[in-house]
Amino acid sequence: MKIAIASDHAAVALKAELREWLIEEGHEVADLGPDTAESVDYPNYGYMLAGVVADGTVERGIGLCGSGIGISMALNRNPDVRCALVSEPASARLCREHNDANVIAMGARLIGPDMAKACIEAFLKTEFEGGRHQRRVDKLSNPS
């Protein structure tokens, strides 16, 4: 699967570990940065990640910042992105099953690498149920 991953400075180390793990798992990974822990603005990286998800360059996205909150807000400004902030596998599974999430966000200061990997695994392996959920998901991009 083609996956893009982006973070802010607070999550650079977690991003690097997750990128390497995803590659080992056989995924094609686009690391959108940053490359150092020098202070950056999470909206810039959220918007960049949202762009490649929305235009179909990648199938799924992973956004990381200190809490996961800021980058998830930036990602969800794009009407073609459905980003869920997750901290355990059940939420990662449900955001796919019920909400057709195409991006997950996590907080590097709140989640360890093993839990982050478990969340990503659930997110990537779960299919959207469709059916009764489709009408609701459609309203996320077209509220009228």
Among this protein's residues, is 65 annotated catalytic?
yes
By the 8 A CB rule, do 5 and 34 touch? no
Catalytic residue among 27, 95, 98, 119: 98
Q: Check the annotation: does 69 bind a ligand.
A: yes
Is residue 66 marked as binding?
yes
Strand order, beta sheet including 103-107: 28-31, 2-7, 60-65, 103-107, 83-85
Is 46 assigned to a binding site?
no
What's the rounded Cα separation, in Å, for the pair 43 and 26?
A: 29
Report the alpha-carbon distance of residue 128 to residue 78 in Å, rounded.
Answer: 20
Identify whether 27 is a catalytic site residue. no
Place of tokens 């980058």: 71
Instruction: Please tell me whether 68 is known to bind a ligand.
Output: yes
Q: Given 65, 83, 95, 119, which residue is catalytic? A: 65
Q: Is 135 annotated as a binding residue?
A: no
Q: Is 99 marked as binding a ligand?
A: yes
Q: Active-site residues: which are they?
A: 65, 98
Binding residues for D-ribulose 5-phosphate: 8-9, 66-70, 99, 109, 132, 136
Binding residues: 8-9, 66-70, 99, 109, 132, 136
